[in-house]
Structure 1
Amino acid sequence: MALIGMLVLAGLALAPIYNGTLLPLLVAAAAAGSVLISVAVRRLPAWTAAPASMLGLAALTFVAVRVSAQAGQIPGGFPDVAREALRNSIPRLLTALIPIEPQPDTVVLPVIATWLAGLAAAEVGVRHGRVLLSYTAPTLLFGGALYLVGPDTTAAAATTWVPLAYAAFAALGLIVTARDPRPVAETTEVLTAADRRTLRLRIGVGAAAGLAIIVALSLLVGPTVAGQGNSTPVDPRGLVTPPQLDSLDENPLVRLSGWNLDKDQHLFDAVVTPGPGASPDPVIRLAVLTDYDGVTWRIGSVYRNAGRVLGRPEGSGPEVTQEITIDELGGRLMPGVATPRRVDGVRVAFDAETGTIAYSESLHKGLAYTVTSRQEPRPDDQALFVAEVPAAEEAGRFLALPGRVPDAIGQLSSHLGEGVSNPYQRAFAIQQWLEDHYKLVDDAPSGHAYPNVEYFLFGPKQAGGQKGTSEQFTAAFAVLARLAGLPTRVVVGFQPRKGDRAIRGGDAVAWPEVLFRDYGWVAFDPRPKSDSVRRPVEDDFKPKAPPSQPPPQSVPPASVSASPQPSRSASAAPPSAPESSGTTTVVAVVSSAAVTVLVLAFFASVPLVLRTRRRRRLEEGPPAARIDAAWSEVLVGLRMAGRPAPPHLTAREIAHYAGTAAVAQAHAKDRRPAVRPPVPPVDELAELVNAVAFAGPQTVGGRPAGPADEQARRAAAQAVAYVDELRDRRPWWRRLLWTFDPRPLRWLRRP
């Protein structure tokens, strides 16, 4: 019971980040099944527990996949669904949006982990009686659940009682297994007075020692542990890369001109059913673009895999249901009324910050899904009139204007802000200026970089200036608003026509939104409200700088990256590099490559030079010189091993020292139990060295006499065998350094 309770509580620790109660039920089944099967076979041989438990795990996995697939509306046969769930369970859990939808790939891993933890705990605790040790697997499972929850404060608040209950079950298991199974009569012993005094002394000393340890740990570790209460846990979802958008979806604003030119292109069908209190004609949103680099607006969203439920319920706005069927709309972004809270029929990825959804693959003709949204009402003008915008430190991302903004645009923003006292008035002044002075057309070329915005605002009418699609109106509003200190983003969507379920290219539209404190994002519409004649810009404002030339008709391609990248202004040409920079770069590259090649060649030649020199010194020349060379090899080997021979020792003493140095080296470095060959002695070599050094010149029959060739060969063989064994007793990385170490080349040159 204690083990089952601890395992169930691990599942309850995960429950707050899951939608519904399916996962806790499956985890409870895994906990009970794994422990009870081990208890049932505890009197059988130990090898029977694992096969019996695996059969139970297979059965529960089958049930979990079938039930969760049915609940999550996952199509496909069991083999395909199970294979996909097992392969993608870990990344799926780390990229899923909270609350996580119980689907095969989000429940299989917790169920299997719980079953394996129960099997290990029951075998160790029930069969072998190691109760405290059996708590290891449930505790690791519980810790893993808390780690997966991460910094989710809602989950933490919902499970404050779970750790206390876990500790209670652990204590219960220790208490019920602490009873002595023998009868009381068998355990009762008569203690003498001395025994009782000794027992009291031991109990007192143990209690005092335990109390001292607790106090010491409280003083040393307590402040650190207490300080962690205000820290934010690590979010494991940052370890994986969420789904990314391609370049087509990264900047859907450039698609407006194509849609407006092909007004009859059938993009999708939408049957919108507003709930009580909802707007009768809600706008369908496709994408929210938050990042601007002076050339293009980009989506800065982080999409996470989601189930049917998109985030926890927020807001109290009326519901709007949309039944959408894709026709010719491409990309991965999925249209829906803001803000979606549930999607049925497909598996999607969701960005909680912007409230936009994306499909896991490219949209295709016939794809159908249902979106349920919460429509937040727009605040009234009186409330917005006194509203403030977030400070620059809080909303810097929505105020950024990288590069150099044309002077004329900055002058217009300052002109529109004169005499305006609050943020809403500044936003309304920009909207009214664009409404009154510019013309809405369908055939304006696409583009929203600084030069495009400048030409739209100040270009001559006869050359195409001062008119544009909703792309230019929205981009101009957003740039002017950011210059005025208003956090702004751009939204792309569709305005359905009343009584028509078909959404066509002519229904595509863009609009800006401004962020107000306590009210969120508020939409503005800077497009003209009628076809009346617009007032010339020059009548109300004339920039000091001359109008710019017409910009290019095409916008530079958007970067594939979903994150904004800083760039220079589109109107600024890249600085020309000095003429000598290319030559300098080539010289630097060639020099670096040459130095690298020389260094590598030097170290690669070291083993070859050492081997050649050893063979020449030990095999060529008179025997006395070869014996001296063999002795030098031994001395150099001791230095390479980090145990150089003391200079005051004689040859015989060095021979003894060499043997002890090799043995000490083996004891210090070779930690693995292995049979080592004996250290080859160098005693005969030492005797030969003494004979060569101190015997003096000898003559036999008038000819010089000395050591024979056979003695020189034995000396060389002893030296080589000793040095090789000494090297082999070193760790592998020191043997590698030994091979390429150039210092012996210098040591062997010394007399």
Structure 2
Amino acid sequence: MVTGTPAREWAVRALRAAPVPVALVVLVALAGVVLGRVYADPLLTRLMVGAAVGSVAVSVAARRLASWLVAPLSVAALAGWTLLSLRLAASHAALPGGLGEVAADAARNAIPRLLTAMIPVQPTPDTVLVPVVAAWLAGLTAAEVAVRAGRVLAGYLPPALLYAGALYVVGPNAEPAVGPTVLFAAVAAVGLAAPGRRPDPATDADPVAGLAPAVRAAVRLRLAAASAAGLVLVVALAALLAPVVAGQVDARPVDPRRYVEPPQVESLDENPLIRISGWALNPDQRLLDVRTVVGPAEGGPPRIRLAVLSDYDGVTWRVGATYRNAGRILPAVEPAPGATTEAVRQEITVGDLTGRLLPAVPTPREVGGARVAYDPASGTLIRPEGLVPGLRYEVSSVRERPDVNLVSTANVPAGDAVARVLRVPDGAPEQLRRLAAQLAEANGAPYARADAIATFLAEHYRLTADAPSGHAYPNLTFFLFGPRNGGGQRGTSEQFAAAFAVLGRLAGLPTRVVVGFAPNADGPVRAADAYAWPEVLFDGVGWVSFDPLPRPDSAPRPVEEDFRPQPEEPPPSEVPAPTEQPSASPPAAASAPDRARGGPGTPVLVGGGVGGLVLVVGAVLAALAATRRRLSRSRLDRGAPGERVAGAWRELTDALRLAGRPAGSDLAAAEVAERARRALAEARAATGASPADDRASDDRASGGDVGELAGLVNQVAFAPGSTTGQQADRAATLVTAYGEALRDARPRWRRLWWRVHPGPLRWRR
């Protein structure tokens, strides 16, 4: 019978050599445990454990080979395990595409997406690639140093660095890793107690047994002294460092995500509200195709939300969201108390819709077929790579219906937490403030105020598809109070939603504007289905949408009937033109002339009347000219640089109106500049001015200069706060030169009338 002595010796040697490799596997795997605390499920931890086992096993199995062969073998095994991990992660996240496409995308974007991913992180190919590769390399390096070279303590350095890196990446997004850290130290101590380099195989006896007794005693004494000194050093370090380490347990670590910029929306998506008018003019444009797999039981197809706009600066509404890379499962949000919820699952195919904003029924909970980034505050999605025709994805949402009884009695929040959606920018027109105050005074409760604003807009204004885009203060003022026969009191859902949100904030309501679609049924979602609606935030209820649009079968009432206060006496038959000059007090009525008394004759009276009329007309013209000059100086010289550039632009549009070439409000800045060039050229051609005569004027007010002014206006509109004082001075110089050139190209009497024309004093801005 075979005694099995060689096998037994091999088993003994394997058991003696096992503690160090096992310790290395555990140390690397603990880094996966620590990092997995911020992941949505344990897939990453399992993949990192597999990388730890595989890397150490390959190194141990190849320990008898030449050292230069180990790295190629291990890298080949690493490639195989990495591809398997990416395939598992892609299948787990239900991402489309082949393995090569998935691997290439993960390799390009792994680090930024890992550091910008939403917590909890979904284990997708781009969020597992770096941890898996790092775990394998740490295991390989540690095994080569600790097992092959026999330097166990030095071999602990790669797992320790990996563990520290995992702690740093987690940052403050998880509870302190006290348990894994204690286990890490304990396993490291066990590995040190059983070093990886075995004694000489010829003997297991005491290595100093063959020495002389005196020498043997001295060697053993030195070993004992060294062990005692090491023990004292370890105890001393533990006593000194333990309080420091314990004190850091509750300290909040630095979050590395603050150093990495999250995914951003394009300028096209920063304010999708301005796209409403363009869609309204192309109602048949096919933007999406929607198929509802699971839908609400009643109420028709749900609205699809595209963007939420919470920031308003008096010129434009902006998204202002912070998007984080997310996986298939999105963070859940508890529904409001009393709200009923319905599950909605839709398959959406992108058509002509462009940008990065990804449409979904609010509030999305799961997305398949597309890699997305998510903003939990607004519940909106983007696709960082942008939308392309034919993109198909599936989104599951939870649709909330607030309790009407709670809404009607709920209050609205206040304080710093909602300051963003309560902010009213400076410069709000007085008419808007008066209207908001009137609606708020008659309705005390928040819901009553919001409903009153929606009702007022629905009853007094017309919904039209050809209304020009714009929701700055001047646009809203013209929409609310402009003359009906001049284009006022009509607009698209852009103006209705923006006016509601601004009036609501002036009335103390936290509001925001939402852009989306309201399809009538499954199938194509066309541009005609796009519209905007406002929402109000209520305590204990959440965001509640309102509909300020008029009913199709209702005729709007004039605004003047319900807004402007009724005068105490009958109004005059003719309304005097408004003026910035205070009206003079009317003279006291003279008593009837006494025919018995003598008085001045008729020639004297006629001459005096004519002379007085000339003086009055001259005084009026002088006052108009002075007022016009003062208005121009206030526009060009006062205020912030952005306000001065806007004032220069108003001077340009006033000059065009004085020349009989007004620029419509629907024209872009570049189109207005082109109209200004043509107006100047035609005026010079009509007066017979030659280029040689007006060379200086051409140099000062050429079409290129007007185009430069248009560029400055666009900069103010789309990059508020970036305009400098020098640019404002340049705008003033350009518009002054252009106005003088356009005025000088007109007949002499028209030049005089140009200086005193009262139009710029009363034209609406």
Normalising TM by the smaller chain, what interval?
0.5 to 0.7
Q: Residue in 1 aligned with 2:118?
A: 97
Which residue of the other structure, out of 462, 466, 470, is the alignment partner of 1:439?
Answer: 462
Task: Indicate the residue corresponding to 1:41 in structure 2.
Answer: 62
**1:237 pairs with 257, 262, 278, which one?**
257
Could you tell me which amino acid in structure 2 is paired with residue 139 of structure 1? A
Cα distance change, pair 196–124 in 1 and its aligned pair in 2 (3 A): closer
From 301, 308, 328, the counterpart of 2:321: 301
- The equivalent residue for 2:402 is 378
- Structure 1 residue 183 displacement after superposition: 5.9
**Matching residue within 423, 448, 451 for 1:425:** 448
User: How big is each residue's C-alpha offset from its partner over 1:77-119, in whole Å with a ceiling of 9 and x where there is no partner?
Assistant: 5445433332322122223333434333322221111111001
Q: Give 1:201 deviation, angstroms.
A: 10
CA–CA distance in 1 between the matches of 2:35 and 2:299?
A: 38
Q: Give the conservation status (yes or no) of the 8 Å contact 2:44–2:128.
A: yes
State the alpha-carbon separation in 2 of the partners of residues 93 and 209 from structure 1. Answer: 40
Q: Is the 8 A contact 1:274 1:321 kept in 2?
A: yes
- Residue 507 of structure 2 aligns with which residue? 484
- Residues 683-740 of structure 1, C-alpha deviations (whole Å, 9 max, x = no match): xxxxxxxxxxxxxxxxxxxxxxxxxxxxxxxxxxxxxxxxxxxxxxxxxxxxxxxxxx
Match of 1:346 in 2: 370
Cα deviation per residue 1:357-415 (whole Å; 9 max; x = unaligned)? 22334433322221111212224243552333131x22222223334111111122222
Quick one: which of 375, 390, 398 aligns to 1:366? 390
**TM-score, length-scaled by structure 1:** 0.67
Deviation string 1:608-634 (CA, Å, 9 cap, x unpaired) is xxxxxxxxxxxxxxxxxxxxxxxxxxx
Deviation of 1:211 (Å): 5.9
Pick one of 452, 472, 475 that aligns with 2:498: 475
Corresponding position of 1:258:
278
User: Separation in 2 of the partners of 1:561 and 1:346?
Assistant: 36
| CA distance in structure 1 between the aligned counterparts of 2:86 and 2:367, rounded to whole angstroms | 21
2:545 counterpart letter in structure 1: A
Instruction: Give ranges in structure 1 of 5+ residues lacking alignment.
Output: 583-751
1:235-274, Cα deviation, whole Å (9 max, x unpaired): 2223233332222222211111222233222222111244
Q: Is the 8 A contact 1:278 1:320 kept in 2?
A: no
The 1:386/1:187 distance shift into structure 2, 3 A limit, reads farther
Residues 516 and 531 in structure 2, CA contact (< 8 A), matched pair in contact too: yes
Q: How many residues align?
A: 567
Query: Separation in 1 of the partners of 2:179 and 2:115?
Result: 25
2:360 aligned partner: 336
SS state at 1:301 partner: coil
Listed as ranges, the matches of 1:158-173 within 5 Å are 161-173=179-191
Partner of 2:432: 409
Contact 1:259 1:508 in 2 (8 A): yes
Change beyond 3 A, Cα 1:80–1:475: closer
Aligned residue type for 2:192: L
1:322 and 2:342 matched: no
The Cα of 1:319 is off from its aligned counterpart by: 1.8
- CA change 1:466–1:174 in 2 (3 A) is same
Partners of 1:555 and 1:491 in 2: CA distance: 24
> Does 1:542 pair with 2:564?
yes
Q: Using the TM superposition, give the Cα deviation of residue 52 of structure 1 relative to its aligned residue in structure 2, in angstroms.
A: 2.4
Instruction: Provide the C-alpha distance between the structure 2 equivalents of 1:560 and 1:343, rounded to a whole number of angstroms.
Output: 37
Counterpart AA for 1:272: T
CA 1:178–1:88: 2 relative to 1, 3 Å: closer
Residue 494 of structure 2 contacts residue 532 of structure 2 at CA under 8 Å; is this kept in 1?
Answer: yes
Contact 2:150 2:197 (8 Å CA) reproduced: no
> Per-residue deviation at 1:72?
3.9
**1:542-597 residue CA offsets vs partner (Å, 9 max, x unmatched):** 289979999823577998999984589xxxx9789999xx9xxxxxxxxxxxxxxx
Offset from partner CA, 1:429-476 (integer Å, 9 cap, x none): 322322232222222221111011111111122222222221111111
Supply the distance in 1 between the matched residues of 2:355 and 2:223 (Cα, whole angstroms).
Answer: 80
Q: How does 1:10-159 map to 2 (within 5 A)?
A: 10-153=31-174, 156=175
Q: 1:374 to 1:249 in 2, by over 3 A?
A: same
- Paired with 1:196 and 1:280, the residues of 2 have a C-alpha distance of 89
Aligned residue identity for 1:67: L
How far apart, in 2, do the equivalents of 1:78 and 1:68 lie? 11
Give CA-to-partner distance per residue, 1:201-235, whole Å, 9 cap, x none: 9999987776666555567x46xx6266242x322
1:527 aligns to what SS in structure 2? coil
> What is aligned with 1:522?
544
Distance 2:328 2:222 in 1: 69
| Aligned position for 2:381 | 357
Letter in 2 for 1:506: A
- Please state whether the residue corresponding to 2:417 is helix, strand or coil: coil
Q: Is the 8 A contact 1:458 1:547 kept in 2?
A: no
C-alpha separation between the residues in 2 aligned to 1:537 and 1:473? 14
Q: Distance in 2 between matches of 1:322 and 1:82?
A: 28
Determine which of 248, 264, 267 is the counterpart of 1:247: 267
Deviation, structure 1 residue 125: 1.7
- Normalised by the length of structure 2, the TM-score is 0.66
Q: Quick check: 1:318–1:375 contact (8 Å CA) kept in 2?
A: yes
Q: CA deviation at 1:34?
A: 0.5
For residues 16-36 of structure 1, the C-alpha deviation after alignment (integer angstroms, 9 at most, x for no partner) is 433444322221111001111
Cα distance between partner residues in 2 of 1:171 and 1:372: 50
Distance 1:459 1:562 in 2: 23
SS of equivalent to 1:324: strand
Question: How far apart, CA to CA, are the structure 1 residues paired with 2:224 and 2:23?
Answer: 33
Quick one: structure 1 residues 333 and 205, their matched pair in 2 at CA, closer, same or farther if it must change by over 3 Å? closer
Whether the 8 Å contact between 1:244 and 1:562 is mirrored in structure 2 is no
Q: Relative to structure 1, is the Cα distance of residues 59 and 204 closer, same or farther in structure 2, using a 3 angstrom cutoff?
A: closer
Q: Measure the CA separation in 2 of the matches of 1:24 and 1:53.
A: 20
Indicate the SS of the match to 2:258: helix
SS in 2 for 1:394: helix
Q: Which amino acid aligns with 1:446?
A: S
Contact 1:293–1:564 (Cα < 8 Å) also in 2: no
Q: Give the conservation status (yes or no) of the 8 Å contact 1:68–1:104.
A: yes
Q: Is 2:433 aligned against 1:389?
A: no
1:89–1:105 Cα contact (<8 Å) kept: yes
Counterpart residue type for residue 125 of structure 2:
P
Aligned CA distance change for structure 1 residues 177 and 334 (closer, same or farther; 3 Å) = same
Distance in 2 (CA, whole Å) between partners of 1:360 and 1:562 is 25
CA 1:16–1:525 in 2, change beyond 3 Å: closer, same or farther? Answer: farther
8 Å Cα contact 2:94-2:369 kept in structure 1: yes
1:553 is aligned with what amino acid? Answer: D
CA contact (8 A) 1:390 1:515 kept: no
Distance 1:502 1:346 in 2: 20
Q: For the Cα contact (< 8 Å) 1:289–1:490, is it kept in 2? A: yes
**Which amino acid is the alignment partner of residue 247 of structure 1?**
S
2:752 match: none
Q: Give the corresponding residue for 2:287.
A: 267
Query: Following the alignment from structure 1 to structure 2, what is the Cα–Cα distance between the partners of residues 110 and 456?
Result: 56
CA distance in 2, matches of 1:506, 1:547: 42
1:160: Cα distance to partner? Answer: 5.7
Q: What residue number does 1:507 align with?
A: 529
Letter in 1 for 2:128: V
1:184 offset after TM fit, Å?
Answer: 7.8
Give the SS at the match of 1:417: helix
* Superimposed CA distance per residue, residues 53-72 of structure 1 (whole angstroms, 9 cap, x where no aligned partner): 22221221232233334444
